Amino acid sequence: MSRIHSLSPRLANQIAAGEVVERPASVVKEVLENSLDAGATRVEIEIEAGGSKLIRIRDNGDGIEPEDLPLALARHATSKIVSLEDLEAVGSLGFRGEALASIGSVSRLTLTSNHRPDGSEGCAALCEGREMTVQLRPAPHPRGTTVEVRDLFFNTPARRKFLRTEKTEFNHIEEVVKRLALSRFEVDFSLRHNGKVIHQLRGATSTAERQRRVAAVCGPAFMEQAVQLETDRGELRLWGWTGLPTFSRSQTDLQYFFVNGRVIRDKLVAHAVKQAYRDVLYHGRHPAFVLYLELDPAQVDVNVHPGKHEVRFRDSRAVHQCVFGALHRALADVRPAVDSPAVA
Ligand code: ADP
Ligand code: MG
């Protein structure tokens, strides 16, 4: 064994990238989350060749000051939290400060941004080489940010080999965009693949517009066979749409559960849903739903996994009861009458 030495910044970032950048869709997720955290009301996503050739995301958010561009690309640098207390009540989608550094270490990344409302002071940054030094140059850009990721995994052949077909990779990207489009109704999303418009979703504020977006994402048949629900228990608010048993699926592909605007997968929630549907669905069939749980951010720990799609609830029983109760009530009309005397 040779002597101990420090890893070069690029290698350290590449190792971290192993956790957060699994495939093109993970890049799209991280970059889009940044746009949403920056308060963008419009995001344009352009993909070429399933994302392995190009991922370009442009937003009209707050933008980044030129002096901050190198930091945006550095590991463990974030504008979103300062202290451990902040982490405990984090409201932004990002907070780890490692996405751009990780992506930059396994692709050719250019970050172009402008934080001025009048559009002056645009600046582009790209990072290269073992030390990940950042080069800056002036570049015109309207207020907001564009992240361009070319040739993902060009320098990590092992990862590149794991990429599936263009179509499969694009499907994963589309899924990420759908989730985020459902998580932020008020934001315009457009998605193009190889020059072709795949989704063009206008910001939705009224209930009718929201329903249209859900129908565009989950298919009109879901909306036609879904019950709208809303419960407010003070600390917990749950609302959204849940599919009638007539719209059951053979897979869990149309199940969207958001906690404070973040899409999550959670065993406890899955269990509550399963129980609520137990006597109305055949074995092996799964419900479809788009549900939003809102609670005090301090009641949920989001720092469980680098991908941030797992959470831990402080009062998991209350969450279980809330989800089960709301779905059970929503399905009351379709539940077969019980033979035994009714118990409230
Ligand atoms: P995190 O999101 O965890 O803070 P990232 O590596 O994803 O870490 O981003 C680093 C920083 O770069 C962010 O904290 C933010 O200040 C800035 N940033 C990244 N993307 C954007 C964007 N689209 N608009 C404005 N600022 C951005
Ligand atoms: Mg981020």
pLDDT at 338 over 50: yes
Angle, nearest 10°, between helix axes 267-277 and 316-330?
30
Atom of ligand 1 nearest to the CA of 78: 14
In 3D, which of 153, 203, 188, 156 has the Cα closest to residue 49? 153
Q: Which residue's C-alpha comes closest to atom 21 of ligand 1? A: 34
pLDDT of residue 207: 93
Q: How far is the CA of 78 from the centre of ligand 1 (A)?
A: 6
Separation CA 153–CA 151 (nearest Å): 6
Q: How confident is the model at residue 204 (pLDDT cuts 50, 70, 90)?
A: very high
Q: Which residue's C-alpha comes closest to atom 7 of ligand 1? A: 99
Q: Is the CB of 99 under 6 A from ligand 1?
A: yes
- 90-99 per-position pLDDT tens digit: 788 888 889 9
Pairing of strands 226-232, 255-259: unpaired
Give the number of whichever ligand sits closest to the CA of residue 99: 1
pLDDT of residue 15: 86
Strands (E), the chain: 42-48, 54-59, 108-114, 123-128, 133-138, 144-150, 188-193, 196-201, 226-232, 237-243, 255-259, 262-263, 289-294, 300-301, 312-313
Separation CA 66–CA 113 (nearest Å): 8
pTM: 0.92
- 284-304 per-position pLDDT tens digit: 999 999 999 999 998 998 877
The rounded Cα 105 to chain-centroid distance in angstroms is: 21
Separation CA 272–CA 267 (nearest Å): 9
- Ligand 1 pocket check: which of 76, 100, 143 to mutate, most ligand atoms within 8 Å of Cβ? 100
pLDDT of residue 339: 52
Q: Is the CB of 78 under 6 A from ligand 1?
A: yes
pLDDT at 344 over 50: no
82-91, 233-242, 325-334: least confident range: 82-91
- Ligand 1 pocket check: which of 78, 114, 303 to mutate, most ligand atoms within 8 Å of Cβ? 78
The larger pLDDT score, comparing residue 84 to residue 203, is at 203
Separation CA 183–CA 261 (nearest Å): 5
- 70-85 per-position pLDDT tens digit: 999 988 889 988 888 8
Q: How far is the CA of 34 from the centre of ligand 2 (A)?
A: 5
In 3D, which of 270, 271, 258 has the Cα closest to residue 300? 258
All domains in the chain, ordered by first residue = 9-201 (3.30.565.10), 219-333 (3.30.230.10)
Residue at 190: amino acid letter: S
pLDDT at 305 over 80: no
